[in-house]
A = this chain, B = another copy of it.
């Protein structure tokens, strides 16, 4: 397989998040906190080295390999373990725990890198005829098992890596629309747009690795969603290759021409087709950025303030609120976690971007609403500190995992009126379930996406690992996650606000969309993917 095309970020570690050089060893503060509060033994846990990992042997037959090679060329197919291992799964805590196992590990049987829509169609044709499952692969950042190499009765499973779809295909500067290849990682997409003075403005936690196609396939939502919208809001059009043929969706900025079929492929997680390009709404690079942090006495007061901002439409670019627990450990400022507390009560962060006039106006209106709702300004510094470390949290999670702690995040969304009850129910479910496994836990929460009618709730959980083996810890977390998911569904939340469904949330999807909803998904899948080769075991119940 040829070397990567231009990749703007270092290759992802096989058994952890991101770039090895950016790893964040735990500070003494944090170690002490873990020991005292949660009973975590912070001795380094010995994880297997890459060279010690045993992958299950590839089951892709030679004649299948030949057929795929015919389509994409020998340099774009590989059965080598070195190529299979980095695509063995995503980056959830479960994924990373699995990587620490010394048992033989599941991995795709081959990696295939098509270079055009026609090649994607031909690969799907080969796989349909030869009964090979296909897992589309972008940045490898799924945290819901969306990349699990589920074989599901097929003879083999391939990873369909989209990295060769790496171009800014066109840019309409008048309309503010850009067609971006599905395989472009966030930073590279922004770099290509910035060369023309434009920005997409989609900055999820996974930004540095995740791709345009992955954002679309999972309904990603970025930290600037208040200003620039969720990723699905930004999508003007989609190019999709399915086993049944190709689709070009989205003829106009808005339409009444029947059901909006883009909305079937947004969030389809590779189960209905392969998204190869996305036409996106882009905007001029902001001239000015302004930061301001706020303190609220408690989460209820802060949430009411964010609600007022959403309902008044004062247009902050970023607005987020940490609850008392998150604020207490400075979780919003990765450089200061566990250090001296920046503020009591609840910390909120605001950022404003745009022209000078827009920023002035938006800042003024938003600040007036926050002040009227009981907020006290803490000045720009804590907000700048949040922005500085905004992509670093996953590194911290990995250090915790390596040091005997269990750490994971999960999220939901609901109406403003239901948010307090849902937050309490999920917190309590996590704490109870983890207590039953023999550990105290710290459950923290923030709101990072607001809408006129409701908000997201994002939970971070830290506890002590319990059990003798990695497999025990996996079971420990699964138990807690099940309790949290049940609590979400029983208390009116959505099973996921922006992490998607994958394998991990699939059991709850029938509760989310009902039996008839499930039948609709199955009917569409049967029509587009009659052999069922597309990402089996994910999303569709």
| A-to-B contact residues, CB < 8 Å | 172, 174-177, 218-221, 230, 232, 236, 242, 244-249, 251-269, 272, 281, 283-284, 307, 311-313, 315, 355, 357-358, 361, 365, 368, 412-418, 449, 451-456, 492-501, 505, 509, 512-517, 519-524, 526-528, 539-540
Asked whether B177 lies within 8 Å of A242 as measured between CB atoms, the reply is: no
- Contact among B254, B449, B517, B526 for A523, CB-based, below 8 A: B526
User: What is the CA–CA distance of A252 and B513 in the complex, to the nearest angstrom?
Assistant: 12
Copies in the complex: 2
Which residues from B are CB-within-8-Å of A264?
Answer: 259, 263-264, 520
Asked whether B281 lies within 8 Å of A512 as measured between CB atoms, the reply is: no
| A-B pairs, 3 with minimum CB distance | A263-B263, A253-B454, A252-B494
Which residues from B are CB-within-8-Å of A263?
Answer: 259-260, 262-264
Asked whether A258 lies within 8 Å of B267 as measured between CB atoms, the reply is: yes
Asked whether A261 lies within 8 Å of B517 as measured between CB atoms, the reply is: yes
Asked whether B451 lies within 8 Å of A517 as measured between CB atoms, the reply is: no
**Which B residue's beta carbon lies closest to that of A258?**
B267
Which residues from B are CB-within-8-Å of A514?
Answer: 245-249
Asked whether A256 lies within 8 Å of B501 as measured between CB atoms, the reply is: yes
What is the distance, in angstroms, from A311's C-beta to the closest C-beta of chain B?
Answer: 6
Asked whether A257 lies within 8 Å of B512 as measured between CB atoms, the reply is: yes
Asked whether A517 lies within 8 Å of B247 as measured between CB atoms, the reply is: yes
User: What is the CA–CA distance of A109 and B6 in the complex, to the nearest angstrom?
Assistant: 66
Report if A312-B358 is in contact (Cβ < 8 Å); known contacts: A256-B267, A520-B524.
Answer: yes
User: In the complex, which of the residues A232, A283, A509, A527 has the most CB atoms of chain B within 10 Å of its own CB atom?
Assistant: A527
Report if A498-B244 is in contact (Cβ < 8 Å); known contacts: A236-B453, A283-B311, A517-B249.
Answer: no
Asked whether A512 lies within 8 Å of B251 as measured between CB atoms, the reply is: yes
Which residues from B are CB-within-8-Å of A494?
Answer: 251-252, 255-257
Given contact pairs A254-B497, A523-B526, enumerate 12 new A-B contacts (beta carbons under 8 Å).
Answer: A177-B415, A177-B453, A220-B256, A247-B513, A251-B493, A251-B494, A256-B494, A256-B498, A257-B495, A259-B266, A263-B263, A313-B315
Asked whether A268 lies within 8 Å of B257 as measured between CB atoms, the reply is: no
User: In the complex, which of the residues A232, A418, A454, A496 has the most CB atoms of chain B within 10 Å of its own CB atom?
Assistant: A454
